[in-house]
Structure 1
Amino acid sequence: MSHVVIIAGSPSKRSRLTGLTDYSSNKLREAGITVEVIHVADLPAEDLVQAKFDSSFIRDALAVVEAADAVIVATPVYKASYSGVLKLFLDLIPQEGLRGKLALPLVIGGSIAHLLAIDYALKPVLAALGGRHILGGVYAVDQGIDRLDDGKYVLSADITTRLDRSLEELILTLEKNGITIS
């Protein structure tokens, strides 16, 4: 069975980025894929900042990444790049830690002005970690995601369409590579 891990690199679970990750997780599960989510902000800050490789929390999170067939790396844009929280976690992944895995970047920002953060900031890091099959990714403007009072999120039709297309590409590529779905 296919196994996808979502690395959520927002410092807050109330971020509109959660709308993207929740939607992606639900769509992949509907397709019969096992999904695990690592909320980097839930990992002990001291372990991340001090790169405590002996931390059970860090070891467990890295084991989830290692076991995955595909990795969705999700981040808000800060200063035209991915979040510092995500950077701390990516720094702990071994140099070849993404070898043989599909990678799908999901990025959210305050305006379309940071669209290229996927190509110029995030994709080079994923490639440096051994990622050789990095899908195009989805950039969403946060105004396209409504946060409801009950904690759920509603994505605009445009974001949903682009996200569906990218998730379908991920699923088809997993199948093409002989990775069993459900």
Structure 2
Amino acid sequence: MAIVLSVSGSPSAASRTARLLRHLDARLADQGHDVIPLDVRTLPAEALLGADVTHPAIAEAAALFARADGVVIGTPVYKAAYSGLLKSLLDLLPQYALEGKTVLPLATGGTTAHVLAIDYALRPVLASMGAAHITPGWFTLDKDIAVGDDGTLLVASGTAEALTQVVDRFSAALGGVPRPALLAATG
């Protein structure tokens, strides 16, 4: 199956965005994809802010993008835009780092006023980087994501169903979910 790079652009160690991505990574892995998680916050700040493309960690991140068949980009939305941390990494990648790749944009935020951030802020950048196919993304409200007492991720049912469909469409675009299974899941 496909190699999927799952990128969290959240600067927070207790990030809902990262937790949601890792939850969705499990679904992609269950569908046969090799999923590689990347939390941008773990990259050296000096390299990101200093635009040091020769730093080994930045070079390794660029190599992960090059290896991937598909990329899931997750970001919190701040002031109607994707995170500055994510922007810092995307700026250091080669201009066509997403060339030939299928990309799934996901975002989290506190208000529905940020819903269009995926289409008006993130999608144009992904397209300019050469993405072959940007599947429909999804915006999840922070209030729809919680962590249970046992550490499991709890996603509101309507949101969980929508995310399942979005992830399954992305997987189908990569060749991971047979079309009849996808159609049965979507009704």
TM interval, shorter chain, is over 0.9
Aligned residues: 176
Q: CA deviation at 1:150?
A: 4.2
C-alpha distance after superposition, 1:64-85 (max 9, x if no partner): 1110000000000001000010
- 2:72, 2:82 → 1: CA distance? 14
Correspondence 1:120 to 2:143: no
- Tell me the residue number matched to 1:85: 85
Secondary structure of 2:78's counterpart equals coil
| TM-score when normalising by structure 1 | 0.93
Amino acid across the alignment from 1:111: T
- Once the two structures are overlaid, the 10-residue window that deviates more, 99-108 or 140-149, is 140-149
Partner Cα separation in structure 1 for residue 76 and residue 34 of structure 2:
24
CA contact (8 A) 1:4 1:71 kept: yes
1:72–1:103: 8 Å Cα contact kept in structure 2?
A: yes
Write the deviation string for residues 94-126 of structure 1: whole angstroms up to 9, x where unpaired: 111101000000100001111000000000000
Residue pair 1:107, 1:140 contacting (<8 A) in 2 also: yes
Q: Verify the 8 A CA contact 1:72 1:106 in the aligned structure 2.
A: yes
Contact 1:16 1:153 in 2 (8 A): no
Work out whether residues 69 and 102 of structure 1, in 8 Å CA contact, stay in contact via their aligned partners in 2: yes
Q: TM-score, normalised by structure 2?
A: 0.90
Please say if residues 18 and 39 of structure 2, whose CA atoms lie closer than 8 Å, have aligned partners that are also in contact. no
Counterpart AA for 2:19: G
3-state SS of the aligned residue for 1:91?
A: helix
Query: Hey, what does 1:35 align to over in structure 2?
Result: 35
Q: 1:29-178 maps to which residues of 2 (within 5 A)?
A: 29-175=29-175
For structure 1, the 5+ residue unaligned runs are 177-182
Distance 1:150 1:91 in 2: 38
Cα contact 1:19–1:152 (8 A) shared by 2: no
Say if 2:22 and 2:37, in contact at 8 Å, map to a contact too.
no
The Cα shift of 1:16 comes to 1.1
Residues 111/52 of structure 1: CA separation in 2 closer, same or farther (3 Å cut): same
- Residue 19 of structure 1: CA displacement? 2.8
Deviates more, 1:6-15 or 1:114-123: 6-15
**Residue segments in structure 2 that go unaligned for 5+ positions in a row:** 177-187
**CA contact 1:100–1:131 (8 Å) conserved in 2:** yes
Residues 14 and 151 of structure 1, relative CA distance in 2, 3 Å threshold = farther
SS of residue in 2 equivalent to 1:17: helix
Which residue identity does 1:63 align to in structure 2? A
By relative contact order (CA 8 Å, sep 6+), the higher-ranking structure is 1
CA 1:2–1:28 in 2, change beyond 3 Å: closer, same or farther?
same
Conserved 8 A contact 2:5-2:65: yes
